Chain A
Amino acid sequence: MLSREENDAVTQVGPGTPLGEMMRRYWIPVCTSRQIANKDSAPLRVRLLGEDFIAFRDTNGKVGVLEEMCMHRGASLALGRVEECGIRCLYHGWKFAVDGTIIDTPNHPDPRFKARLKAPAFPVREEGGIIWTYLGPKEKEPPFQRHRFMDAKPENRCVLRINVQANYLQLWEGGCDSSHVGILHSDVARPGWLDQTFKPTTDPLNPGAFASDDNAPRLDLEDTEFGWHYAAFRNMPPKDGVAVENCRIVPLIMPWTRIIPSPNSYYTVFEVAADDFSTSTFIVVDSSQTVNEQHIIKILGLDDPRFYDPETCEFTALPAKRWGQNRQAMQQAWTGFRGIETEDAVMSLSMGPIMNRTKEHLVTADQGVMRLRRRILQSIKRMQEGGDPFGVMVPDLSTIVAGDYIVPIGTRWQDLAPANAKLQAAPREKAPA
């Protein structure tokens, strides 16, 4: 449990809040490249850390991220015309380039005015099928970080975005809560649960595929520069006469990322805080083989239009309709929902927009959740003391290891993921004297 003050500190992301200032020190996923795929296509409204922005792709294919309100009189630039290398506000025709340069001010033709002012625009990168921006102080801008999926061929990668009306931490906590997987996701983690005959899921792309039906995993955790990582050990029958156990290693990367392994792919998941009450979950699946996006969508349960709209990326489940649960289906299926992301999202939605953590009753199986909160608070403290938040100065995150292994009992799990503890922050370059 947390005190009320601590609960506020780990959930409030707006401008001026300690957590919000910490999150602004990282490069942030804005939207998928696909959402603004075409030159001069419609601008996209985006909410990040309690602030509103638009993203658009200009005539040359360059992407801009600007504050949503036109700097002139505050109309939404989401309504604007994207044409001839810029976006033009409908109201009075002010036009801006992707870097915020003011191109035109029809009602105030003085050229000196345009030259002096600049619209609030933010640095942009496009990598791995995602548009990224940096919202923090200019002098603190960190190197752009590489993730493993950025090196995958486009056909070996799939990028999805899911907007959920719940605080980011509820979703992220689910990502480091290993003991829920074999229960909530019983239908994929423990097929045969209904008649108590465990048959492992054989789909190599399914992150809920477990080699064991042990529902009380033993956790071991270790702090790292990028955040922390854990190993969840599950009992298994001996293999070839050797006593073995299942070991799943999951890294948690500040300020909202985790990597979940499946037998032949990786799920890199970003729980990007849109504001205190809503989250954009970006799920990037990469593999050494071709990734069938429709299959991933089905695994996640996002092929059901009652819950997910691929055009707006909105996930909808109303409490008045018991979040869309199918009680009839529960005769054969554990949750009455279908798919891993749908089940996870509904659990977070059911907690309310911001969970009141003063009321919870944690047990030792919840240590991942406790460690996550502690690392967030430590990262904020390090920033407030003048340092960099955890991991922000690690330029290459692509060597971080996640994995699911069957190992002889007693195996040191850190030896399976040696790169994780070795990653260190790069020194900041000092300005020349």
Chain B
Amino acid sequence: MTEIGLGALLDKACSEILRRRPAQRGSRLVVNPDVYRTVAAARPREVERGIPLMVLGLELDKSAEVPPNMFRLAE
């Protein structure tokens, strides 16, 4: 088991979001496509209905440039 799982990634992202002022938090949480797929697989109904995947109050987005154990906050 690796420490950097989905739960740990979200805890880290949460710390970073709370560290920033509300105006600097962005509206998207960008993660590795593998992480995105994990979340999407857990929420098939939202995906089916075209509802954005929201995590920690931000819209989830994917980018291959983000390593699997990292995230990026973006506008």
Residues of A within 8 A of B (CB): 1-6, 9-10, 18, 218-219, 221, 358-359, 361-364, 366-367, 370-371, 373-374, 377-378, 380-381, 384
Is there a chain A Cβ closer than 8 Å to B39's Cβ?
yes
Contact B39 A380 (CB under 8 A): no
Sample of 26 A–B contacts (CB below 8 Å): A1-B6, A1-B42, A2-B5, A3-B5, A3-B38, A4-B42, A6-B7, A10-B7, A219-B18, A221-B15, A362-B14, A362-B55, A362-B56, A363-B56, A364-B14, A364-B56, A366-B14, A367-B14, A367-B15, A370-B7, A370-B14, A374-B8, A377-B3, A377-B5, A377-B7, A378-B8
Interface residues on chain B, number (Cβ under 8 Å)? 20
Contact B10 A364 (CB under 8 A): no
Cα–Cα distance between A1 and B18 once the two chains are bound (Å)? 18
Contact B3 A364 (CB under 8 A): no
Is there a chain A Cβ closer than 8 Å to B57's Cβ?
yes
Say whether chain A's binding surface is mostly helix, strand, loop, or mixed. helix
Contacts of B57 in A (CB 8 A): 363-364
Contacts of A9 in B (CB 8 A): 1
Cα–Cα distance between A219 and B10 once the two chains are bound (Å)? 15
A380, closest chain B residue (CB): B1
Q: Provided the pairs A219-B18, A364-B57, A367-B11 are in contact, do residues A381 and B42 lie with their beta carbons within 8 angstroms?
A: no
Contact A1 B8 (CB under 8 A): no
Cα–Cα distance between A218 and B42 once the two chains are bound (Å)? 29
Cα–Cα distance between A165 and B9 once the two chains are bound (Å)? 30
Instruction: Please tell me which one of the listed residues A367, A371, A381 contacts residue B1 in the complex, with CB atoms under 8 A apart.
Output: A381
Q: List the count of A-B residue pairs having beta carbons below 8 Å apart.
A: 68
A361, closest chain B residue (CB): B54
Contact B11 A377 (CB under 8 A): no
Contacts of A219 in B (CB 8 A): 18
Cα–Cα distance between A359 and B55 once the two chains are bound (Å)? 11
Contact B1 A364 (CB under 8 A): no
Contact with A along B25-67 (1 / 0, CB 8 A): 0000000000000110011000000000011110000000000
Contacts of B15 in A (CB 8 A): 221, 367
Contacts of A370 in B (CB 8 A): 7, 10-11, 14
User: A389 to chain B: closest CB distance in Å?
Assistant: 14
9 tightest A-B CB contacts, nearest first: A358-B42, A370-B11, A367-B14, A374-B11, A373-B7, A374-B8, A2-B7, A3-B6, A6-B5
User: A212 to chain B: closest CB distance in Å?
Assistant: 19
